[in-house]
C-alpha cells in the first residue's frame, strides 16, 4: 500500500510541476524576473548559455532538498515528491532544450500531432519578444486548438 501511495505522490508531483512551470513562467519569468528570462526570447547574446538557464537551478533545488532530506530523515514520501519534480525537470529538458530549441542536437523532429502541437504552442509563445503580452506559458499541457491543428496537418 505504501508503494502505491508513493507512486501516486510521484505522479502528482510530476503533474503539479506543469502547473508550477506555467505559473512561474507567466507570473515570475514574465514578471519581476524578466531580466533573467528575456535573453531566451531575444537572441542578442553569444554563447551556449543564457541567463534564463538559472531557472534550472531554481527548480532543481526543491527536488534535491526533498530527496536529500527525505533520505537523511527516512521520510520517503519526500523522496518520491523530489523524484517527481526531478522527472518533470528531465522531461522539460528533453522537450524544451532538445526537441524545441535544439540546443542539443539529439532529436530532430517527431511527426506525432502532440509533439507538433507542443512545438507550435511554444513558437506562438516566442513570437512575443517583449515581456508582455504573452500566451502559451505551459509546456506539456497544450491548448486543444494546437492539437487539432496538428492532427489536420498530419491528415
Half-sphere exposure of residue 9: CA atoms within 13 angstroms, side-chain side = 16
pLDDT digits (tens, 9 = 90+) for 30-52: 989 888 887 887 777 677 788 88
Q: If phi over 0 gives left and psi between -120 and 50 gives alpha, with beta otherwise, what is residue 47?
A: left
Half-sphere exposure of residue 11: CA atoms within 13 angstroms, side-chain side = 6
**What's the pLDDT at 109?**
77
**What's the pLDDT at 130?**
64
**What's the pLDDT at 110?**
78
**What's the pLDDT at 90?**
95
Handedness of CA 84, 39, 126, 120 (dihedral sign): negative
**What's the pLDDT at 1?**
75
Q: Cα(140)–Cα(127) distance, rounded to whole angstroms?
A: 19
Q: Cα(55)–Cα(114) distance, rounded to whole angstroms?
A: 25
Q: Record the cell numbers describing residue 85, joined without a space.
A: 519534480
**What's the pLDDT at 114?**
83
pLDDT under 70: residue ranges of the chain = 45, 128-131, 135-136, 154-155
What's phi and psi for 119, nearest 5 deg? -60, -45
Half-sphere exposure of residue 136: CA atoms within 13 angstroms, side-chain side = 19
Amino acid at each position: 500500500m505504501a508503494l502505491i501511495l508513493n507512486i501516486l505522490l510521484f505522479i502528482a508531483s510530476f503533474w503539479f510541476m506543469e502547473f508550477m512551470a506555467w505559473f512561474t513562467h507567466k507570473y515570475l519569468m514574465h514578471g519581476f524576473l524578466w531580466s533573467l528570462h528575456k535573453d531566451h526570447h531575444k537572441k542578442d547574446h553569444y554563447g551556449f548559455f543564457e541567463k534564463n538557464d538559472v531557472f534550472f537551478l531554481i527548480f532543481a533545488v526543491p527536488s534535491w532538498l526533498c530527496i536529500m532530506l527525505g533520505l537523511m530523515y527516512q521520510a520517503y514520501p519526500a523522496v518520491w515528491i523530489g523524484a517527481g519534480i526531478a522527472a518533470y525537470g528531465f522531461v522539460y529538458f528533453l522537450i524544451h532544450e532538445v526537441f524545441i530549441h535544439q540546443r542539443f542536437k539529439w532529436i530532430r523532429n517527431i511527426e506525432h500531432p502532440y509533439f507538433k502541437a507542443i512545438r507550435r504552442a511554444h513558437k506562438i509563445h516566442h513570437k512575443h519578444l517583449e515581456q508582455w503580452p504573452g500566451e502559451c506559458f505551459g509546456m506539456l499541457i497544450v491548448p486543444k486548438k494546437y492539437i487539432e491543428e496538428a492532427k489536420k496537418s498530419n491528415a
